[in-house]
Amino acid sequence: MTKKKVAILFGGRSVEHGVSINSARNIFEYIDKDRFEPIPIGITTQGTWFLNDSVSKEIEKGEPLSLTLDGIKPTWKAGSKTIQIDVAFPVLHGTDGEDGSIQGLFKAMSIPMVGTGVLGSSVSMNKLTAKRLLQKANIPVSDFLDFPYAERNSLSFEEISKKMGLPFMVKATSLGSSVGISKVSSKADFQPAVEEAFRYDNHILIEKYIKGREIECAVLGNDPPQASLPGEIVISDRYEFYTFDAKYVDNTAVNIEVPAKIDPAKQEEIRRLSVKAFEALHCEDFARVDLFLAGNGEIYINEINTIPGFTNSSMYPMMWKERGVSFTELITKLVDIAFQRVEKSRRVETDFKSSLKF
């Protein structure tokens, strides 16, 4: 059997560049090499693409890579090498990776791709758009306000705290991994939090703080998607919330419980809402849904990650491992699901025969 060539894209122009490398390293290591030929493609923080032999932070040690703009038979060139791939697996977290940008490139070039397409990626990445769509679908989200950069000097702590209560959260609208997020407990916290969020985005969200448990649920597949049992992230009292360092730097910051210790009825409600949110935001193939379980039992969708982490501490593969799906099996499922979805999409015509003269 001819091996399918899988381009694993990593790095990228994103504040989550390093997280992407760690995720892609695991996918490169655990992909079934009897079925697939992994082709690592690294993207620098400046946006230059390189063909690499393996996944590492030394991206520029590879060969500069170019893509022919041919929607029928796109080819990749690196020096004297010419490469054709069967499917792209973007492991690019955040900007240019989860926001629909890279997905649009692959769609325009008719390159099959693992994961959510242009529409679902763009609306899921933008927390404001995602919240509004979830609200329309009657899916619970925390109360929120939003402000553009042009209004940065007119924001009133008194007015916002009156509406949101204290504490509240300030977030960059289109980032992940808790970058550009702050918890505001007093007026002294407010301006630094606003400046930090606007440092990474031209639009910010201010959200009501939900005191409760951090829950995550993994969704896999299409028609219909399936949800894992939810897991819980128990954060050390040393941290005010689930920060970047708590996620990726301090290995003593959290305890992960998979599955979460939640009664079966509540588990099923979380799974149902996770799938409903996945579908409402037009997600495809896989995603991780982040939720809050408040003290009164209410569930709130926090956000959806269309390219969840695959690092050693990432919840997405852990939740499927608990269901009996190994890391290697999970990667295989994702590639197979992508091919199935592409095959299904071929029934849609892109050409229209008309009497128009041109």
Domain boundary among 208, 238, 262: 208
Cα 162–chain centre separation: 32
SS3 88: strand
CA pair distance 300, 132, nearest whole angstrom: 13
For 51, 152, 304, the CA distances from 274, given in Å and listed in that order, are: 36, 34, 9
Tell whether 127 is covered by a domain. Answer: no
Tell whether 136 is covered by a domain. Answer: no
Note whether 194 and 236 are same-domain residues: no
What DSSP character marks residue 54?
A: S
Query: What stretches of 187-294 adopt beta strand conformation (E)?
Result: 203-208, 212-220, 226-227, 231-235, 254-257, 286-294
Tell whether 118 is covered by a domain. Answer: no
What pLDDT is attached to residue 151? 95
Note whether 233 and 277 are same-domain residues: yes
Q: Give 126's pLDDT tier (boundaries 50, 70, 90).
A: very high
CA pair distance 357, 161, nearest whole angstrom: 61
What pLDDT is attached to residue 247? 65
pLDDT tens digit string along 81-125?
999 999 999 999 888 889 999 999 999 999 999 999 999 999 999
Note whether 169 and 275 are same-domain residues: no
Provide the token pair at 264: 């079966």
- CA-nearest of 121, 330, 294 to 218 is 330
Number of domains in the chain: 3
Note whether 271 and 203 are same-domain residues: no
* Burial class of residue 66 (count of CB atoms within 10 Å of its CB; 0-12, 13-18, 19+): exposed
Domain with 265 in it: 212-345
CA pair distance 318, 216, nearest whole angstrom: 11
Q: Give 353's pLDDT tier (boundaries 50, 70, 90).
A: confident
Q: Is the peptide bond before 259 cis (omega within 30 degrees of 0)?
A: yes
118-125 and 127-136 helices, crossing angle to 10°: 100
Query: Residue 58 is part of a domain; what is its CATH number?
Result: 3.40.50.20
For 17, 63, 233, 331, the CA distances from 97, given in Å and listed in that order, are: 10, 21, 25, 18
What DSSP character marks residue 154?
A: G
Torsion from C-alpha of 95, 338, 88, 90, nearest 10 degrees: 20
Query: Residue 285 is part of a domain; what is its CATH number?
Result: 3.30.470.20
The proportion of the chain whose per-residue pLDDT surpasses 70, expressed as a percent, equals 94
Residues 119-144, mean pLDDT to the nearest whole number: 96
Domain boundary among 208, 223, 246: 208
Tell whether 131 is covered by a domain. Answer: no
Note whether 106 and 16 are same-domain residues: yes
Note whether 176 and 224 are same-domain residues: no
Note whether 227 and 323 are same-domain residues: yes
Tell whether 135 is covered by a domain. Answer: no
Note whether 319 and 223 are same-domain residues: yes
Tell whether 80 is covered by a domain. Answer: yes
Domain boundary among 157, 187, 208: 208
Tell whether 54 is covered by a domain. Answer: yes
Note whether 229 and 332 are same-domain residues: yes
Note whether 49 and 161 are same-domain residues: no
Q: Are 222 and 337 in contact (CB under 8 A)?
A: yes
Note whether 193 and 232 are same-domain residues: no
315-322 and 327-345 helices, crossing angle to 10°: 100
Note whether 202 and 216 are same-domain residues: no
Query: Residue 171 is part of a domain; what is its CATH number?
Result: 3.30.1490.20
pLDDT tens digit string along 157-207?
999 999 999 999 999 998 765 677 899 999 999 999 999 999 989 999 999
Tell whether 255 is covered by a domain. Answer: yes
